[in-house]
Structure 1
Amino acid sequence: MAQEAALRPRYLPKALLYALVPTACWFLLRPLLDPAPPLPALHASLGFSLLALLGSLYLVPALGQTFIRANLKGRDLLKTYDTPIPESQGLICASIYIILLILFIPYSFSESFTTHYDSARRAREGIVVDEFPHHQLAVYLSSLLSLLMATMLGFLDDVFDIRWRHKLPIPIIASIPLLIVYYSERGATDVVVPLPLRWLFGTLLHLGPLYYVYMSLLSTFCTNSINILAGINGSEVSQAVIIASSIILNDLLFLPWPFGFRIALPLHVTDGLKVGGMWSAGMAYGSRVLVERHLFSLYLMLPLLGVCLGFMYHNWYPARAFPGDTLCYVTGMAFAVVGIQAHYSKTLLLFFLPQIFNFVLSCPQLFGLVPCPRHRVPRYDAETQLLYPSKAEFKEKRPSKLATLVLRLFSALGLVELAIDVKTGEIESSTNLTILNVFLLRLGPMREDGLTRVLIATQVCGSLLAFFIRYGLAGLVYDGNRR
């Protein structure tokens, strides 16, 4: 009974509801009042983001028992109790997110519905268009279609437990609307060659169809990289929160700020990061196209951040709700959408540095060189209530020469711990190849919530490194403001 009481839905103060609802309504109504703010749709997006936060905060616990009755439930593998916990709650978050994005459409294109524009406002913003932006509408609707497909396919994965070899192509299917719109609008398939390689490839390298392969693989990586870095309370949603926050911060640098400022960077690599100037559109420096791209990115990321923060409140240790694969698919597809449509895929990948490391580390298990158990979560010790690195054992077959070489290399780097047969010298077992097990191996056993905090700190440090690489070191290999 005490365990069941401990897993009751977390308390939600009514003051939060009374404070955020009027605030959200004000942000939604402010663009309709004169004088209109400089970026009215951004105000509305902030309002919808607050509604996304409230929706996930209140609907996740309200619908939890409904999911349990539908047999969408699971047991927390790193706990001693068997109390069923609602599974696939990412469906609630995805539904809130997509519905709010649909409701946002009139705000996003509200200026196109007006026939008369204020000339002073047009000069100040520099991003007003005189004709209805059919291309932007196509981009927005194709993004919604991809998110809907990701939601559907993610929920099917939750229900039918699709195997890894079958689920890998799923994001490629969901990215087809994005690629078709990109092709129909004659999207660029050239990449800027880094300075050291221009003697060989020239300034621009035309990839053609390979660029579409790259974009489809980007959507596959973004969704599955979050999905495989999981297993502890709060891991999936915390990754989404930090990556979304990093993207939002990056987008804000390109908005039209009425002031200029400079951010000093260490190591004296560059003169620093210069932003703004009097209505010079931030780092876009008056480029209407760049401002529109990053506004589009903000319109998708702000509600995503809101819905993820609300769900994180219930998914934090000890979790009252599990996200399932649906949340991973939707958040990953949202990141892929803004990376492709806003044309900053390289910057996006920099925000996935921990996921890239975890993917490279996991490859021997994902591709069958090392046994891959159904769950690679750390091992839980009920007596100490601490987590220890879990192991993969070579029971059915001996490790191949390639597997032995890779594991010994990882062992030399301190990434795995091997058990060696003293008679034959062969590897009997290895710690599972995940970044969570690396943390436990290098930092020692710890509580589950402590491991989540280490993961969050790593993700934050990865984002800080990404900003330093993007705005500090990129000038060494690219000329101009290349992304």
Structure 2
Amino acid sequence: MCLGPLYYVYMSLLSTFCTNSINILAGINGSEVGQALVIALSVILNDLLYLPWPIGFRIPLHLLGRGREVDFGGVWSAGMAYGSAVLVERHLFSLYFMLPLVGVCAGFMYHNWYPARVFPGDTLCYVTGMAFAVVGIQAHFSKTLLLFFLPQIFNFVLSCPQLFGLVPCPRHRVPRFDAETGLLYPSTASFKEHAPSRLATVVLRVLAAPRFVRLTADPKTGEIAETTNLTILNAFLLRFGPMREDSLVKVLIAIQVAGSVFAFVVRYGLAGLVYDGNRR
């Protein structure tokens, strides 16, 4: 599909999403770098499917008294490049970016794991997000890249009522830490200045049905007075109960890995029903 000038708009939106989607799914030790590490490893695995790998080995028959040695060799490939040198070059380009990024993320995660000794701030989120956007755009696999961002897409959609002003959005929406128990609990946002609009009420009740949010009603009016913040981290705490910070990050990383597995199933399984062999 040729988007023409709209493709430049698409690239701008993709770059903005990749950097900010990690940044809004943050606030606890290891969450930002954990997401980035899993996504980078997923991109690397996807790149390896397109690259040829020369394999060769020698059988030293002279050790068995034979007069010569026998060489075996060939080129192994998963075959996703379909013999295209252009696709190989594109995924080599991606690999050159992702391998150093994995090294950076792995080293940073060691120091950022709970209890953290260093913190990423916005810098790590922007660097990793832009690196993903660059390889996705320049190597022409932006649709595949977005599949690796499924948890971030879900978190963005869940956050939209707060991001666009339908529901009060506090400066920080990270889970609330209880110093007595050492556990994290869902943080909340209150309708202090005015009652929720009819649209906000409908949206929140829809989200409350699958327990993505928990609502508190005003005992006098029956209207929604408080809601848990609309993030995937708070949703995890609602679903699985209060937990330690490192346990919550492990849940997030597990969901990120599961999302990548699902992405590969969609990309190389279900996508074959829609796209041809050279699909990206």
In 1: Cα distance, 2:83 partner to 2:279 partner = 16
Q: Residues 5-84 of structure 1 correspond to what in structure 2 (within 5 A)?
A: none
SS at match of 1:230: coil
Contact 2:50 2:77 in 1 (8 A): no
- Which residue is equivalent to 2:49? 253
State whether residues 82 and 278 of structure 2, in contact with CA within 8 Å, keep that contact through their aligned partners in structure 1.
no
The one of 116, 119, 123 equivalent to 1:322 is 119
Residue number in structure 2 paired with 1:212: 8
2:114–2:246 contact (8 Å) kept in structure 1: yes
What are the ranges of 5 or more consecutive residues in structure 1 without an aligned counterpart?
1-190, 192-205, 260-276
Question: For the residues of structure 2 that align with 1:351 and 1:328, how far apart are their CA atoms?
Answer: 16
Deviations 1:237-263 (A, max 9, x none): 01010000000000001001347xxxx
Question: What residue in structure 2 maps to residue 347 of structure 1?
Answer: 144
Give the Å deviation of 1:395. 0.6
Query: Partner of 1:376: helix, strand, or coil?
Result: coil
Cα distance in 1 for residues equivalent to 2:185 and 2:78: 50
Displacement of 1:422: 2.9
- Identical residues among aligned pairs (%): 82
In 1, Cα distance between the equivalents of 2:273 and 2:220? 53
* Mapped pair 1:403 → 2:193: no
Report what 2:237 is aligned to. 440
Letter of the 1:392 counterpart: A
SS of the residue 2:125 aligns to? helix
Q: Distance in 2 between matches of 1:285 and 1:249?
A: 17
Cα deviations across residues 324-361 of structure 1 (Å, max 9, x unaligned)?
10110110000000000000000000000000000000
Map 1:369-408 onto structure 2 (within 5 A): 369-408=166-205
Listed as ranges, the matches of 1:39-438 within 5 Å are 191=1, 206-258=2-54, 278=75, 282-438=79-235
Amino acid of the structure 2 residue aligned with 1:219: S
Please give the alpha-carbon distance, in whole angstroms, between the structure 1 residues aligned to 2:278 and 2:87.
Answer: 11
**Counterpart of 1:470 in structure 2: which amino acid?**
R
TM-score normalised by length of structure 1: 0.53
| Counterparts of 2:163 and 2:109, CA distance in 1 | 28
Choose which of 244, 251, 254 in structure 2 pairs with 1:454. Answer: 251
Letter in 1 for 2:221: T
Q: 2 CA distance for matches of 1:281 and 1:392?
A: 50
**Deviation at 1:281?**
7.5
Q: Distance between the aligned counterparts of 2:109 and 2:157, measured in 1?
A: 27
How far did 1:480 drift? 2.4
In the alignment, structure 2 segments of 5+ residues that lack a partner are 56-73
Match of 1:476 in 2: 273
Structure 1 contact 388–446 (Cα < 8 Å) conserved? yes
Deviations 1:142-173 (A, max 9, x none): xxxxxxxxxxxxxxxxxxxxxxxxxxxxxxxx
Do the aligned residues in 1 keep the contact of 2:49 with 2:77 (CA within 8 Å)? no
Which residue pairs with 1:142 in the alignment?
none
More helix per residue: 1 or 2?
1
- Which has the bigger relative contact order, CA under 8 A and spacing at least 6? 2
Post-superposition shift, 1:209? Answer: 1.1
CA displacement at 1:279 relative to structure 2: 5.5
Specify whether residues 226 and 280 from structure 1 end up closer, same or farther in structure 2 by C-alpha distance, changes over 3 A only: closer
Distance in 1 (alpha carbons) for counterparts of 2:205 and 2:274: 34
Give the counterpart letter for 1:213 in structure 2. V
Cα distance between partner residues in 2 of 1:358 and 1:463: 15
Instruction: Give the distance between the partners of 1:230 and 1:400, measured in 2 at CA.
Output: 28
RMSD (Å), alpha carbons: 1.3
| Secondary structure class of the residue paired with 2:212 | coil
Amino acid at match of 2:13: L
Equivalent-residue separation in structure 1 for 2:89 and 2:78 (angstroms): 10
Query: 1:475 offset after TM fit, Å?
Result: 0.8
Q: Once the 2 structures are TM-superposed, how far is the Cα of residue 378 of structure 1 from its aligned partner?
A: 0.6
Aligned with 2:270: secondary structure?
Answer: helix
- For residues 205-260 of structure 1, the C-alpha deviation after alignment (integer angstroms, 9 at most, x for no partner) is x321111101110000000000000010000001010000000000001001347x
What is the number of equivalent residue pairs in this alignment?
Answer: 262
Q: Which amino acid aligns with 2:194?
A: K
Q: TM-score, normalised by structure 2?
A: 0.91
- In the alignment, the residues of structure 2 paired with residue 462 and residue 362 of structure 1 have an alpha-carbon distance, to the nearest angstrom, of 19
Q: 1:394 to 1:468 in 2, by over 3 A?
A: same
SS at match of 1:282: coil
Amino acid at match of 1:244: A
Q: Give the 3 Å change call, closer, same or farther, for CA 376–436 of structure 1 in structure 2.
A: same
